[in-house]
Amino acid sequence: MSPWWTSIELGEEQAALWRAGSVDLWIRRDAHEWRIAVDRSAAREDEEVQVLHPADRWPEEGAGIEVVRFGSDRTSPALRVVPVLAPRPVVCRPEQPFRLLPQTEVTAFVGCPLWLRVIAEGGALEFEVDLHRPSGTWFGPDTQSGELCFANRTRLHLRRERLKHSPLRATTRLLLHNRTDQVLTLSQFKLPAPSLDLLVDSDGSFWSQAIEVGFERGGSAEIEVLPSRDPRRVQVLSPARLPRGHGRLISALSHVLG
């Protein structure tokens, strides 16, 4: 069976439905119009994504259902719905603040929220739906300067098994090096999600590119996006939203840890 993010063809006056957690994403193609409906009212325990193609009905448009329409002189049948990483950085926190001892390194894992991106008309039509309704959070020294981010609902863990498996999240591996001579308190971490590729492995699990962060003497942090360990087992599903320069990025420690 082909994975749910593969391209499909939608006939005229046909609709398809993607069920992903509490989100129902309906897409309908007419001769001159694409219609997308998002219903967030579903209460499902099962988070596996299901695709109903063609869907046998169209939801009753009304309260609680967000409908978006795109007009075109002639619609074409190719349609793809792919997962993508967050459009803003994601702030992750450990369950309790933990301290990283001097001159040590640890590997941590965190689950990142995913969005669904609808692509049609050769990329001219793009529409995104968040799957988790993430809250915003402010990352900065005060309320005058900083950056608007998403607050991650999952916690940072040192063992991957402790992350609750979800097909609607991507896992990010973080290599944290404390290269200073002082104990470093890690109460939060800003993950640059828009600068990371979304990958899928041969098991169908989603990963973001791993990140290596070196905390240096003098209050700076060296951030590097790592290549995938085994390129034969993973493939890039959605490239990073933001262009990423080559090499390492040097940033103030406060820009990474708050």
Instruction: Tell the smallest beta-carbon distance from residue 257 to other proteins (Å).
Output: 13
Return the number of the residue (91 or 237) whose C-beta is nearest other proteins. 91
* Amino acid identity, position 201: D
Is the Cβ–Cβ distance between 20 and 47 less than 8 Å?
yes
Helix (H, G, I), strand (E, B) or coil at 1: coil
Give least dist CB 109 to other proteins, A: 21
Closer by beta carbon to other proteins, 111 or else 134: 134
Tell me the closest approach of the beta carbon of residue 156 to other proteins, in angstroms: 15
In this complex, which beta carbon is closest to other proteins, that of residue 52 or of residue 253? 253
Task: Give, in degrees to the nearest 5, the angle at Cα 188 between 186 and 191.
Answer: 115
Residue 122 has φ and ψ, to the nearest 5°, of: 60, 25
User: Scanning the structure block, which residue is given the tokens 């800003």?
Assistant: 190
Residues in contact with other proteins by CB under 8 A are 91, 133-139, 143-144, 146, 148, 151
Instruction: Identify which of residues 141 and 231 has a Cβ nearer to other proteins in the complex.
Output: 141
What's the one-letter identity of residue 33? E
Provide the minimum distance between the beta carbon of 40 and other proteins in the complex, in angstroms, as a whole number: 11
Q: Minimum Å distance from CB 47 to other proteins?
A: 19
- With respect to other proteins, which residue has the nearer C-beta, 89 or 214? 89
